Amino acid sequence: MPPETFDRSLWHATGGSRVATPPLDEAIATDVAVVGGGILGVSTALHLAEAGTSVVLVEAREIGWGASGRNGGLVVPHYARLGPADARAALGEDRGDRLSALLGGGAELVFDLVRRHRIACDPVQAGWLCPAHAPSRRAGLEGRLRQWQALGRDGLDLLDAAATEAMTGMPGYHGALLDRSGGHLNPLAYVRGLARAAMAAGARIVQDTPVTGLRRDGDRWHLDTEGGGRISAGRVLLATNAGRGTPAPGIAAGVVPLHVYQSATAPLPPEMRGRALPGGQSLSDTRADLFSLRPAAGGRLVTGGMASLQLGALERIQHRMAQRIGRFVPGLVVGGFEHQWHGVASVTPDLLPRFWRVGPGALAVTACNGRGIALNTALGPVLAQHLSGAIDEVALPVPVTDPQPLRYPRLSAAAPGAMLLFAGLHDRLAR
């Protein structure tokens, strides 16, 4: 994940200053140690500190360095490609419904935290749209809507084609699922704001401090760091996105890294603003070759996508993203992009998160599957309850299991790129 892609992002340019904390150069003790300064780790640390549990969060680079500060900033309280019924089938009725309830309330929690802690992250809670690019996909959205409504969620509607075109500015869709609780924000500014709120509540955060070792001695965990600092903790959470940089072996082998590229336009001319998403909603449609779009501060648009080949993709994908926007939004011409950057998400075969047992009192939690802002924020409070001893493993929304490496990790890592080669054909056949 080259540093220049982080520095080139719109979020880096507009997200304010980094959180000011020094590296760790001493031995300290705490109730809970959290490894990883993304949304999951920071949300957990915030809720631990607010509950009066001592917590130290240690980050190898800086807060928001990974996928949490590089994604498109869409706040989506839905599974990727799944519905609550799929969560039930995979996790059982009780756990599946608990996970769906957490995720379904994730956007409201995000925007509530933004308001409560006065986080300056350009938040817009105007709703999230999932348009159907084919008639067959509309039927799938109808099914998901019924499943969410059966859990008692409101604020969701299924739009017809005309209402979808009016709300998106894009003809050709066959309706859309609208979730009014969703929206968008600057994700780097958001996670930095959460970190500052956690520090204000009593959490200690250290950055530029890679963890090099994790061992258990008696009833305590001991974390060694690159700078010579040491942390002694009763419990540990590893929240390092796809296992990169984790001191626990085998975690990274259980997920597929998904490379995603984001592009932000320069501020659009006044006459072109409002042609796409005039009401300020965010959008990600039902295509296998996913099309996402959202407004951003200053009259910009942000879009994201994947590349079948990673070599040179950041430059190569720019033309393709501009073409897609022009094709979907009549009359909107994007000559190029002012910002482009790259991030890596973690994906599991069933598109559900994993809670892996590292040892007594130590968990590794991973795989937001492209829904990191809402889901990882919402997992923070329940993980904080567990790590503080308030609830046991049975009460968690995902079972705690031993790490399960993928059978063919190299083949799995190449799968997203290979599938993208056939995504266009798949989307045409769906129509």
Contact 346, 255 (CB under 8 A): yes
Burial grade of 33 (CB within 10 A; 0-12, 13-18, 19 or more): buried
Residue 221, φ and ψ in degrees, nearest 5: -100, 145
Determine the pLDDT at residue 427: 56
Domain for residue 36, yes or no? yes
Domain for residue 391, yes or no? yes
Token duo for residue 189: 């500014």
Return the H-helix or E-strand segment holding 221: strand 220-225
How does strand 256-264 pair with strand 339-347?
antiparallel
Q: How far is Cα 204 from Cα 48, in angstroms, rounded to an integer?
A: 11
Residue 17, φ and ψ in degrees, nearest 5: -85, 155
Domain for residue 423, yes or no? no
- For 183, the domain range is 3-410
Determine the pLDDT at residue 308: 61
Domain count, the chain: 1
Residues of the chain whose pLDDT is less than 70? 1-4, 242-245, 249, 253, 307-311, 367, 407-431
Token duo for residue 98: 């608990």
Domain for residue 418, yes or no? no
Domain for residue 133, yes or no? yes
CATH number of the domain enclosing 296: 3.50.50.60
Q: How far is Cα 163 from Cα 173, in angstroms, rounded to an integer?
A: 10
Determine the pLDDT at residue 2: 47
**pLDDT tens for residues 87-117?**
999 999 999 999 999 999 999 999 999 999 9
Domain for residue 356, yes or no? yes
Query: Considering only CA atoms, which of 19, 31, 20 is closest in space to residue 236?
Result: 31
Alpha helices in 289-371 (DSSP H): 313-328
Domain for residue 431, yes or no? no
Domain for residue 332, yes or no? yes
Q: What angle do CA 112, 177, 306 make, to 5 degrees?
A: 85
**Helix-, strand-, coil-residue percentages of the chain, each rounded to 5:** 35, 25, 40
Give the predicted TM-score (pTM) of the model: 0.93
Contacts of 314 (CB under 8 A, 6+ apart): 5, 261, 340, 341, 342
**pLDDT tens for residues 152-177?**
999 999 999 999 999 999 999 999 99
CA dihedral (100, 101, 104, 109) in degrees, to 10, reads: -140
**pLDDT tens for residues 378-408?**
999 999 999 999 999 999 999 999 888 776 6
Distances, alpha carbon 182 to alpha carbons 56, 110, 130, 177, 395, in Å: 31, 9, 11, 11, 27
